[in-house]
Chains A and B, each alone.
Chain A
Amino acid sequence: MPVKSYRDAINEALKLEMRRDPRVIVMGEDVVGGLGGSSGVAEAAGGTFGVTAGLAAEFGRKRVIDTPITESAIVGAAGGAALTGLRPVAELMFIDFIGVCLDQILNQQAKFRYMFGGRCTVPVTIRTLMGAGLGAGPQHSQSLHAMLTSIPGVKVALPSNAADAKGLLATAIRDDDPVIFCEHKFLYGESAEVPDGEYLVPFGEANVTRTGTQVTVVAFSRMVLLANKVADKLAKEGISVEVIDPRTTSPLDKDSILESVEKTGRLVVVDEAYPLCSMASEIASLVACEALDALKAPVRKVTAPHTPVPATPFLEQDWVPSVEKIEAAIRATLDRKLARAG
């Protein structure tokens, strides 16, 4: 199977869906780039991180639309176009900018189908960028998928590898509800085997990236890579760790998580996000409510602290969950004394 980067896999999904369905359009800031510039270069950006490269050349600027820096209008117009027959893919350059346009998601797109009595569909996909580590400071480094997951009416996908990025994005574009598609800025260069041609990954189906019997680790987005690394290291010591990547937080594949915890009796949740009202607390709650008897040790959560992301590079590194913290949490669930220490 061909090996492709996460960036190229997303680009391929966009191209395939645009070829397949003329209703699919792409819009956002500098998704092409260079209009009104003095160089006359036809595509000066192709997206700030190069994800939409080549789309304008193939599909033209009527379907690949550069917008002003106006997030409410980008996301809002994508919702309005979705309500009236298009299948827009809007790019929100950083997920932090959700603050600028949240109403259009929270009170508009997420509500339309329900509020209008089921008499419409809202097939809009919002591609956005999450994650810390670039030293970009508190307003360009957050991971806000849990907040969006809490809104009824929207779906949230967080691909952790190139194949899932392609397959989940195609599913998102074909979905009739609004989907927030969270790309991690540190995954663009990561490569994996990705099928050519049509490839769909269904929502609500977790991927078990490591099978194991002693501890279940549920991890999201880039944290799946870290969890896999720890699982591989501990396997050499004879510690058997199962890693589950839910891939979508809404819908959430509860069954895969519960089945795994029934088997292992131990749970660690890893998420690069704030700890309060988080996916970590949501999964801990799920297991507490539905599989408490299976637990042999308290659940451990490995998240960012309840603070903004500092610009200071070494503090930012402390903010992001690390392999060391994940390993310590796994060991703690296996150690009776540590397990009770919380």
Chain B
Amino acid sequence: MAETAHDPIVLLEAYRRMRLIREFEERMRREVQAGTVPGFVHLYCGQEAVAVGTCMHLRDSDYIGSTHRGHGHCIAKGCDIGDMLLEIYCKQGGLCNGKGGSMHIADLRKGMLGANAIVGAAPPIAVGAALSQATRGTDGVAVSFIGDGASNQGTVAESLNMASILKLPMIFLYENNGYAEFTGISYHLGGGNIARRAAGFGMPGETVDGVDFFAVYEAVGRAVERARRGEGPSAVEAVAMRWYGHFEGDMQLYRDPHEVDRLRQTSDPLVKFEQRVTGEFGIDAEELREIDAEIRELIDDKVAAAKSAPKPPREALYTDVYGSY
């Protein structure tokens, strides 16, 4: 795929996925507040351009490893939102048959290797997926999404090194959203720059504006092409602050209450995208409004379906696990 997306089909698809993530997450936020969603939910709003700018380069046969904040990655990678919602509501037929919930959504058919509730657990798994691609002789790649908090885990350093020495088709996609749970990046990140760490492992690393779809799309495009050519791994750090708490319900005492208002006004990836595509690439804003309406209706339908879907059978507690007991 070209480094810049000027093709209206690509642009409209990128918009559709970003809008779908936004509306999905805003709806999840309201549902969590209304008490309809079990467990913990970590919202992706504000970071839509990162997942979509990355996954627009990927095929179903490419892999992604995700995080606890995984809804956006799932949608960007093409997971069915009806099946995601069934999972979030822990219902029969959900992507994990209701046994994983929000923090563990996986869809192997789409190359989605799982949201993950262990910080820093996905990169080694993604290294394995990249190794699998290389061993099987495909031109497929693996991407690991890694939060700024996770970037400090030992597993990340080990994965960078292994991907480097094995020259694997892997992209370390750092999502710097400003906070590791309740602690800001200026405190938790030694050296002050995530992308620069890649140089120590002999791979390119660059930092881009994660609010700007095009910046993410172009940087990841270079990394994916390099990986598909067999030239080895790359790192991309996309900076996009999260709009909401670590989890929905987080009091966020660590944040200036006006910070999110400012972000909404100045750093909305969807607004930024729309301004550029309507101004520069001749997309009609009306077309985008049609997409918006379709998505709202789709989410209404799928949330209603998930809420009324049957629970898994009681025996499901004992299935899908080896047990000699």
Residues of A that sit less than 8 Å from B by CB: 29-30, 33-41, 44-45, 48, 66, 68-70, 72-73, 96-97, 99-100, 134-140, 275-276, 305-308, 310-315, 318-319
Contacts and interface: CB of A to CB of B under 8 A. Distances in A.
B185 to A, nearest CB: 6
Given A33-B254, A72-B154, A315-B314, A137 B149 contact: no
Contacts of A140: 40, 103, 117
B152 to A, nearest CB: 4
B253 A33 contact: yes
Interface stretch (B168-176, B211-219, B316-324): B316-324
A45 B38 contact: no
Most chain B C-beta atoms within 10 Å of own C-beta, residue among A30, A36, A45: A36
Given A34-B182, A137-B103, A69 B314 contact: no
Contact of A41 (B187, B254, B321, B325): B254
Interface stretch (B15-23, B46-54, B93-101, B277-285): B93-101
7 contacts: A30-B183, A34-B254, A36-B184, A69-B152, A136-B117, A306-B325, A314-B311
Contact of B254 (A45, A73, A305): A45
Contacts of A37: 179, 182-184, 254-256
A38 B255 contact: yes
B183 A311 contact: no
Given A70-B154, A319-B317, A39 B325 contact: no
Given A29-B180, A307-B317, A310-B316, 18 more contacts: A34-B183, A38-B256, A39-B256, A40-B256, A48-B181, A66-B188, A69-B152, A69-B181, A135-B90, A135-B101, A136-B101, A137-B104, A138-B100, A307-B318, A311-B38, A311-B39, A315-B314, A315-B317
A162 B287 CA distance: 61
A66 B154 contact: no
B233 interface: no
A139 B253 contact: no
Given A69-B153, A137-B117, A276 B325 contact: yes
B186 A36 contact: yes
Most chain A C-beta atoms within 10 Å of own C-beta, residue among B99, B116, B120, B318: B99
Given A29-B181, A312-B98, A34 B316 contact: no
Contact of A69 (B38, B150, B256): B150
A68 B103 contact: no
A139 B104 CA distance: 9
A25 B90 CA distance: 41
B118 interface: yes
B187 A139 contact: no
A-B interface, 8 closest residue pairs, ranked by CB to CB distance from nearest:
A36-B184, A311-B101, A37-B254, A36-B187, A135-B39, A44-B254, A34-B254, A35-B187
Given A45-B253, A139-B103, A305 B317 contact: yes
Interface in B191-245: none
Most chain A C-beta atoms within 10 Å of own C-beta, residue among B100, B182, B188: B182
B160 to A, nearest CB: 15
A34 B253 contact: yes
Contacts of A41: 253-254
B40 A136 contact: yes
A53 to B, nearest CB: 12
Contacts of B312: 312, 315
Interface in B298-318: 311-312, 314, 316-318
Contacts of A35: 183-184, 187-188
B101 A39 contact: no
A308 B320 CA distance: 10
A311 B102 CA distance: 9
Contacts of B154: 70, 72-73
A311 B39 CA distance: 7
Contacts of A38: 184, 254-256, 259
Contacts of B318: 305, 307
B137 interface: no
B183 A33 contact: yes
A311 B325 contact: no
A99 B253 CA distance: 30
Given A66-B183, A100-B153, A318 B317 contact: yes
A315 B316 contact: yes
A219 to B, nearest CB: 21
Interface string B80-121: 000000000010000000111111100000000000111111
A39 B178 CA distance: 13
Contacts of A68: 149, 152, 180, 183, 188-189
